[in-house]
């Protein structure tokens, strides 16, 4: 099968691939030529560095949590700015995630606790690779789960921006046989070479090589599609205000692509900094490293939800991190590499207002290897349900090889 991947970076464009004819690019402008029905869209956010799920969604109903974390635990809900935001009498949100509480109350935000990869590795690199490939413990997988999740189109009418990652390079999740695009910034890429004297378009168009000539022209058809988006000024709707950090700006650009109706089906972005070995919290939980990260995280997700408005009917967002952190705090007001974690899902069809998953408890004998939150939900159960019931890809065994019967939790209507 022919394949092409275009990487649109801040000021340059590179293309590589194999095959004889870039079929998908020959249809690059179909979305402009004729209206198409609104697609279901899945947005995946990877929190790199291993999030402390126990301080993100706090089991304030279990005393053992406070015994294990005398210096860094989030206080029980008491309506003050530094206490957990109660969800159901047992779990509560970190106070920095207050922008997400209205989405939870509306029934559109679901939380899955004690979830993650069954592989025991505590290596960031390996754990991220396993989660992005969708094959825990298997290093030989060449492609990513999100690429495999893209539904096949019987008519072959695929947009050149049906799969997009916000960033300078294509992530592991989106590598594979389906065409995918990495975009660093929608507004800043140019189509000129480094000298600024001659465009890539004229270079390709004048080459005697028929393959490069055809490829170049079709590539620039796809670039023109992106340029058409550039020309439209964008103002977030419903008074939504995205934070200035990388995640907020990435979510704003994804929202812009969705509302441009250019055929987006899956999108990916990531945010780092979650490896909180030292000074995870400051003198109180509402300040410090974790609080700062969660402020940006919560505001970014809430702004995206507000900006899209009724378009969220067609959009689901899922968050993940490679593993959690130790149940017990370390000696540096932080936590070390752990096991199970927490995932969020919100948007179209999500049956929210609930914390999903079996809670394993934090007693010593209930912990994984006597130190970490135990795993009760495989992350592929969550992603598999979104892929099947939201994207409509019923070939879940192809998306997660070797795991063809995930246990759905009723997360998606």
The CB-side HSE value for 307 (13 A sphere, CA atoms) comes to: 25
SS3 call for 91: coil
DSSP annotation of 325 reads B
Is residue 207 pLDDT above 70, yes or no? no
Q: How confident is the model at residue 56 (pLDDT cuts 50, 70, 90)?
A: very high
> Counting Cβ atoms within 10 Å, is residue 379 exposed (0-12), middle (13-18) or buried (19+)?
buried
Return the percentage of the chain with pLDDT > 90, whole number.
Answer: 72
Task: State the Cα–Cα distance between residues 173 and 147, nearest whole angstrom.
Answer: 6
How high is the pLDDT of residue 153?
72
Return the residue matching tokens 């410090």. 288
The CA-based angle 154-145-21, given to 5 degrees, is: 45
d(CA 221, CA 51): 41
8 Å CB contact between 150 and 163: yes
d(CA 341, CA 117): 9
Q: Is the confidence at residue 212, as pLDDT, over 80? A: no
Q: Is the pLDDT of residue 20 over 50?
A: no
Q: Tell me if residue 331 falls in helix, strand or coil.
A: coil
Confidence of residue 9 (pLDDT cuts 50, 70, 90): very low
Q: Residue 267 pLDDT more than 90?
A: yes
Place of tokens 């992603």: 383
Pairing verdict, β 3-8 and 13-18: antiparallel
Q: What pLDDT, on the 0 to 100 scale, is given for residue 327?
A: 98
Sheet holding 57-58, edge to edge: 57-58, 92-93, 85-86
- Tokens linked to 382: 């969550």
User: Residues of 255-284 as b/e, b for ≥16 C-beta within 10 angstroms?
Assistant: bbbbbbbbbbbbbbbbbebbbbbeebbeee
Of 39, 6, 7, whose CA–CA distance to 22 is shortest? 6
For residue 198, is pLDDT > 70?
Answer: no
Please check the confidence at residue 233 and state whether its pLDDT lies above 90: no
CB-based contact 246:21 (threshold 8 Å): no
Task: Write down the pLDDT at residue 372.
Answer: 98
- Is the Cβ–Cβ distance between 270 and 167 less than 8 Å? yes
What does pTM read for this prediction?
A: 0.87
Instruction: List the beta strands (DSSP E) in 105-235.
Output: 109-116, 163-166, 181-183
Query: Taking Cα atoms as reference points, which of 369, 410, 413, 403 lies closest to residue 40?
Result: 413
For residue 227, pLDDT over 80 is answered with no
Is the confidence at residue 45, as pLDDT, over 80? yes
pLDDT over 90 (residue 21): no
H/E stretch holding 128:
helix 124-133
CA distance 313 to 348: 4
Specify the pLDDT at position 133: 98
Q: Which two tokens stand for residue 250?
A: 């990435």
Q: What is the mean pLDDT of residues 342-366?
A: 97
Please give the mean pLDDT across all residues of the chain: 86
- Predicted pLDDT of residue 349: 92
Residue of 326 and 204 predicted with greater confidence: 326
Cβ partners under 8 Å of residue 293, min gap 6? 271, 273, 274
In this predicted structure, the answer to whether residue 214 has a pLDDT above a threshold of 50 is: no
What does the pLDDT read at residue 158?
Answer: 76
What is the band of 273 on the pLDDT scale with cuts at 50, 70, 90? very high
User: Is residue 346 predicted with pLDDT exceeding 50?
Assistant: yes
Look at residue 157 in the predicted model and tell me its pLDDT: 67
> 154-196 pLDDT, tens per residue?
555 678 889 999 998 999 999 999 989 898 888 765 443 334 3
Quick count: other Cβ atoms within 10 Å of Cβ 311?
17
């Amino acid at each position: 099968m022919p394949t092409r991947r275009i990487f649109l970076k801040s000021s340059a464009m590179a293309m590589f691939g194999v095959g004889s004819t870039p079929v998908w690019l020959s249809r690059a402008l179909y979305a402009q030529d004729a209206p198409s029905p609104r697609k279901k869209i899945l947005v995946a956010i990877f929190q790199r560095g291993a999030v402390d799920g126990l301080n993100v969604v706090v089991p304030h109903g279990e005393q053992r949590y406070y015994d294990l974390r005398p210096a860094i635990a989030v206080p029980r809900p008491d309506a003050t700015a530094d206490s957990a935001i109660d969800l159901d009498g047992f779990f509560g949100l970190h106070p920095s995630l207050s922008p997400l509480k209205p989405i939870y109350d509306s029934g559109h935000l679901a939380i899955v606790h004690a979830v993650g990869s069954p592989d025991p590795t505590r290596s960031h690199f390996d754990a991220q690779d396993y989660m992005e490939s969708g094959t825990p413990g298997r290093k030989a997988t060449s492609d990513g789960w999100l690429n495999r999740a893209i539904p096949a189109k019987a008519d072959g009418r695929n947009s050149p921006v049906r799969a997009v990652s916000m960033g300078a390079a294509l992530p592991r999740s989106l590598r594979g046989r389906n065409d995918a695009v990495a975009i660093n910034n929608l507004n800043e890429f140019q189509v000129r070479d480094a000298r600024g004297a001659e465009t890539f378009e004229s270079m390709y168009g004048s080459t005697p090589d028929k393959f490069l000539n055809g490829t170049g022209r079709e590539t620039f058809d796809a670039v023109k599609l992106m340029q058409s988006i550039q020309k439209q000024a964008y103002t977030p709707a419903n008074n939504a205000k995205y934070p200035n950090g990388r995640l907020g700006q990435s979510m704003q650009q994804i929202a812009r692509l969705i509302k441009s109706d250019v055929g987006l089906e899956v999108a990916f972005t990531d945010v780092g900094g979650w490896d909180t070995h030292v000074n995870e919290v400051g003198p109180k939980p509402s300040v410090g490293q974790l609080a700062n990260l969660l402020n940006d995280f919560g505001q970014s997700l809430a702004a995206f939800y507000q900006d899209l408005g009724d378009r969220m009917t067609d959009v689901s967002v899922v968050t993940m991190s490679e593993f959690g952190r130790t149940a017990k705090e370390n000696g540096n007001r932080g936590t070390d590499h752990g096991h199970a974690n927490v995932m969020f899902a919100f948007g179209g069809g999500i049956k929210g207002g609930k914390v999903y998953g079996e809670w394993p408890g934090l007693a010593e004998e209930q912990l994984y290897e006597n130190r970490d939150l135990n795993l009760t939900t495989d992350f592929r159960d969550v992603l598999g349900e979104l892929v099947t019931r939201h994207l409509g890809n019923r070939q879940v065994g192809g998306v997660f090889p070797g795991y063809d019967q995930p246990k759905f939790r009723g997360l998606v209507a």
